[in-house]
Structures are given as C-alpha cells and as structure tokens.
Amino acid sequence: MWMAAGFAMLESGLVRAKNTAEILTKNVALYAVASIMYLLCGYQIMYGGGSGVLPGLGFLIGADNSPEAVLAGEGGYYSNLSDFFFQVVFVATAMSIVSGAIAERMRLWSFLLFAVVMTGFIYPVQGYWKWGGGFLDANNFQDFAGSGVVHMTGAAAALAGVLLLGARRGKYGPEGQVRAIPGANLPLATLGTFILWLGWFGFNGGSQLVLSNIADANAVAAIFVNTNMAAAGGVVAALTTARVLFGKADLTMALNGAIAGLVAITAEPLTPAPLAATFIGAVGGVLVVFSIVGLDKLKIDDPVGAISAHGTAGIWGLLAVPLTNPGATFGAQILGIVVIFLWVFLASLLVWGIIKAVMGIRVSEEE
C-alpha cells in the first residue's frame, strides 16, 4: 500500500509547483475510489468465475473463513480478505499510472469519474482473463505479478486519456520543437522512486502468495534479489543512455530507469538468475529513455514518463519471460499483450470520450 505514497511523491515532484496540490488530491482520492469500487464489484468480477471470456458479475466480497470453520475443517486456510487487500493495491497502482500521464491539465472530477469505471470494471475484466482463470490463463499467458495486468493496463488507459486530452500549453512549439517543463521538486521525485523500489518487494514477493514452507520462502528471497537487481540495472542503463544521447546525466531518466527495470522484471521475477534479472532491467532502462523521447516527438505529452516506464517496459518484461521460463512461449505472451492492450485502450477511449462529451476533461486556460 505504501507504493501509493511513492506514486504521489514521484508525480508531485515531476510537475510544476502550481499543480502539486491537485496531483496529490488525485493520488489520495484515486486510492480511496479504487478501494471502494474493488470492494463493490471489482474483486468479484476478477475472481468470481465466468465463461473464460465473460467474467461473472458479482457484488461485494464474500465473508472470510471464520476461525471456527477453519478449525472444524470446513474452510480453507486461504483468506479471501487477505487476497482482496493485496489485489486492491494492484488496481490502485494501475490507476496511479494514469494520474501521472494526464497531470497538469485534466479536470479532477472527470479523472475521478474515470477512476470509478477503470477500477470497478475495465481493470477487473482483463485481470479475470489472466489471474481469475480466464482464457489468457488457459492459453498459457505468463504474467507473475502484473507487467501486463497492472502496468501495461495503466499505461494503455493513460495513453487513451492523453490522446483525447492534448498536450500542456507551451509544451510543443509551432515548429514542433519539444520544450522541457522541469519538475518542481526533484528530492520528492527521488524519494517517491525509492518508496516504489521498496514497495516492489511486496508487489513481486507477495505475488508468490505463500510463505509458510521452505520452498516458498526461498522463492520469495530469489524474487527480492531479482527485483532489486532489475531496478539497479535499469538505473545504470538509463543514466548511461541519457549521457550518450544528451551529453550529460539526467536524474529524471535515471528515476524512470529504476521504474522501468522494476516493471520489466515483474512479469517473471522468479525464474531468472540474478545476473539475467539485471540484464532484463537494464534493457527496460534503455527502452524507457528512447520511449520518452519518441513519445515527445509524436507530441504525446506525458509529464512523468508513465506511459513509457509502465507500458513500453511492461511489454518488454512480458516478452522476456520465455528467455528464462521454459514453460512460457512467445506466442502466448504476444496474445496476452495484444488482448490486454486493445481491451484497456479501446474501453478507456470510449469512457474518456463519453466523459469529454458530457462534462469535459480539460481545465480552462484560467484554471
């Protein structure tokens, strides 16, 4: 859950001072909206069973296994409420990614209305397809802790919003030149990155779901090491790439390199050796720099680099799974990437479009 603070600090550090309060409001509010919507219907859609393609439409999580039922042998040892709390933070993470990409120019209430639909319906449907036992899971799509289910999902929803929203005023010149709009508080952005780095041990390590025997405890230890090494590889690779491209070190690229490395290893943090995990993270770190520069050239304005760090690196992470996991195939990974991206992007585009038509999504110049 502390990753919510990491996203809040990272995003607020990378926007202008005048927009700090607004982005902090979005981050605390989206966490609350995600918690409520996932309780009302999201969790039941994601884990309530279904046809493989269409999830069941359930409401409110069922009662947890009571101590009496467990002792009597009537219930399992696995806690529904524990799983709910773990999973609700994943959906909040996906929504935080959207927050950063549309920063500094979107109406607060339009954003929160989208958050209701995203966390209650759009995210849980594709989550069901993989983690709820749907057709992507049946087709052997591998995504251990959510490079696609969480991170690429957030990036796809963000991209749809950014395309309809347009760029910030003054970001691109009349000749197409890109004008940098520096963040107001780089110590906060760096703190946010370190908080996310630490939180990722829960994100990936917790996805093992069991810690009560030697094999699972050793697996969690391996996941921790690989998660850390991927982040380290991402930082060094992004920093070096920025030095080559721009002639100087760039802190924001290094921070996004850490995030990109973490996102990349999330699809499969258990099977790589630590050195392989470092390499997977490093490739993410290189890709995120080129992706941020490329999106700017396309006039897709993403103030914090969220689409690149979570989307581009998420796709790479999914494609890297078969390199270390012999049970995975490139065909299944590509199927998952295409299906999740198209569903989230098109559904988000529709919802953003309706909100834009009904109440508008962009603040006025004066605001």
What pLDDT does residue 366 have? 87
Judge contact between 203 and 265, C-beta under 8 A: no
Nearest 10 degrees: CA dihedral of 249, 253, 255, 258? Answer: -110
pLDDT at 66 over 90: no
- Cα–Cα–Cα angle for 47, 206, 10, nearest 5°? 100
CATH number at residue 191: 1.10.3430.10
Q: What is the pLDDT of residues 107-130, one digit of tens each?
A: 999 999 999 999 999 999 999 999
- Is there a domain that residue 364 lies in? no
Q: Please, what sign has the CA dihedral across residues 332, 334, 340, 346?
A: negative
- Is there a domain that residue 366 lies in? no
SS3 category, 85 = helix
Segment (H or E) for 356: helix 330-358
- Where helices occur in 135-273 by DSSP H, the ranges are 135-138, 153-165, 186-205, 214-246, 251-266
Per the prediction, the chain carries an average pLDDT of 94
Domain that holds residue 330: 1-359
- Is there a domain that residue 365 lies in? no
* Residue 210 CB coordination number (10 Å): 12
- Is there a domain that residue 367 lies in? no
- Is there a domain that residue 340 lies in? yes
Both structure tokens of 218: 């050793």
- Is there a domain that residue 233 lies in? yes
| Amino acid at site 1 | M
Chain Cα centroid distance, residue 231: 15
Both structure tokens of 27: 């981050």
DSSP-derived letter for residue 119 is I
Task: Count up the domains in the chain and report the number.
Answer: 1
- Is there a domain that residue 140 lies in? yes
Q: What is the pLDDT of residues 126-171, one digit of tens each?
A: 999 999 999 999 999 999 999 999 999 999 999 999 999 999 998 9
Distance CA 322, CA 310 (A): 20
- Is there a domain that residue 17 lies in? yes
SS3 category, 50 = strand
